[in-house]
Amino acid sequence: MTYLSDLRSYIAALDDLGDIMHITRQVDGDLEPGAITRRSCEIKSGAPLFENIEGAAPGFRILGAPAALSSRPDMPYARVALSLGLPPESTGPDIVNALAAARDIPLQPPVLVDSSEALCHQNILRGEDANLDLFPIPFGHGKDGGRYANTWGTLIVRTPDGRWVNWSIARVMKVDGRRMVGLVVPSQHIGQVWAEWVELGEPMPYALVQGPAPAISCVSGIPLPAEVNEVDYVGALVGETVELVKAISIDLEVPATAEIVIEGHVSITRDCMEGPYGEYGGYLGTGSSMQPTFHVETITHRDDPIWPLVVAGRPADESHTIWAMGIAADALTHLRAARLPVKTVWAPEGAAVHWLLVVVPADWRDELPGVSSEQFAKHVGDVLFETGAMLFIPKVFLVDDDIDPTNLSDVVWAISTRVHPTGRRAVFEDQRIVRLPQCYEEREYASGQGPKIVYDLLLPAFGEGRNLHSSFEQGYPDELKQRVLANWPA
């Protein structure tokens, strides 16, 4: 593994792959960076690096689409792989398996460095000088409720008793130069920590970190068990100790190589309107809600800082790459812990984090003797729909390992030819849901409950009605296939 310890070394690595789109002409500070970033995701161009932004100080930059799909068709997941210290040619399942495997590695706590050694403390702004207006924070979508000051930054909070430090990504909207408002969902970890501060009656200290080491950003965006410190997991995952530094004005530690760190406190009431925002399901938002205010008290930053920008929308962007991979890794961990025979789990980008494919080996019946495929599907749902990460996934497909879950043509073929019209499926009624998945009815959103389903796509066992594919791989003798391949034009 090669741990890229800051955003700039990551950008250099992407540049070496030809996966950075340098934009040196002046762009406006409002919608243009968002529009270019969104189109770059949809056409799989290089990650846009905006180097000349109207209204921003010279040297201030924006990096768009930091962990979206690569512009290199031979290595589509290169941005996520490089972020996590993996080879850029890693496949999606390679990444999922690495994320799951790191759950079993001893956690590696960070090391604290002196403030004088911390690049994030090259510039320190206090009081009235700590103003968000200094930074190029654009609109993401034309219908958003404001400029979103957090789309890929890490929010750091700690429980009042200090037992748990949580790092996460949540959307945070700029209100003015000294205030932001963030979506704090009670069921998510940041919401659980905030609730403890509310009960204590004290504002919650927070740090919003823009542009840390890319592994930190990715891990902040995936589900981990409650009360696991993400920084310790990053160390285990990449095999390197993460360097932190004490924040300037609050009792938290922050990544020492970060581009920008915003420090302050969060109100104990939902006192400011947040939203709307175009989300990962692919639709422009229309709703808003009262959420806590994030007061800005201190800002530190590197010289010539880089602000990362994610613009969520139709697949594929960071929601459909790293977040979906994190959900798949969490599902894989739980299914293996339940001793179910599973080779890998995958969330296809095109399904916008609404589908999960559970891939099982051809000999799964040997490991589950006497269990029908319908019963297997029920076991899978019983395990998955009790986990927190599956709050967002309404549909699971149980498939044989002759299907490549990362190949959407394979997936569509399997669903089309292996789902019975009346359905072999396990339906789980009255499951907990939130508004972010796009497939439910208003009455279900209002009640917070709706159905979830595991579709059984498993073929019969060989010799019991299972047909071979009419494909090159399965439709011809091995000797003939070898001859064909040996003589295939270069």
pLDDT band at 471 (very low <50, low <70, confident <90, very high): confident
Q: 14-32, pLDDT tens digit by residue?
A: 999 999 999 999 999 999 9
Told to judge if 227 belongs to the known catalytic residues of this protein, a careful annotator would answer: no
- Do strands 47-50 and 20-23 pair parallel, antiparallel, or not at all (unpaired)? parallel
* CB-CB contact of 158 with 131 (8 Å): no
User: Is residue 98 scored above 70 in pLDDT?
Assistant: yes
pLDDT band at 475 (very low <50, low <70, confident <90, very high): confident
Distance from C-alpha of 16 to C-alpha of 11, rounded to nearest angstrom? 9
Output the pLDDT for position 277: 94
- pTM of this prediction? 0.94
User: 3-class SS at 457?
Assistant: coil
Distance from C-alpha of 411 to C-alpha of 423, rounded to nearest angstrom? 17
* CB-CB contact of 190 with 155 (8 Å): yes
Domains, the chain, in order of start with CATH, read 93-309 (2.30.110.10), 338-456 (3.40.1670.10)
Distance from C-alpha of 284 to C-alpha of 67, rounded to nearest angstrom? 21
Provide the token pair at 2: 């090669």
Q: 274-316, pLDDT tens digit by residue?
A: 999 999 888 888 889 999 999 999 999 999 999 999 999 999 9
Output the pLDDT for position 2: 87
Q: Which residues contact 181 (CB under 8 A, 6 or more apart)?
A: 172, 173, 175, 272, 273, 274, 291, 292, 293, 294
Of 253, 279, 318, 349, which residue is the catalytic one?
279
- Do strands 260-274 and 204-210 pair parallel, antiparallel, or not at all (unpaired)? antiparallel
Distance from C-alpha of 233 to C-alpha of 226, rounded to nearest angstrom? 12
Please give the full DSSP string across 74-94, using - where no structure is assigned: T-TTHHHHHHTTS-TT--HHH
Q: 330-342, pLDDT tens digit by residue?
A: 999 999 999 999 9
Output the pLDDT for position 470: 83
Output the pLDDT for position 1: 63
Residue 335 φ then ψ, to 5°: -65, -40
pLDDT band at 120 (very low <50, low <70, confident <90, very high): very high
Output the pLDDT for position 183: 94
- For residues 251-271, average pLDDT: 98
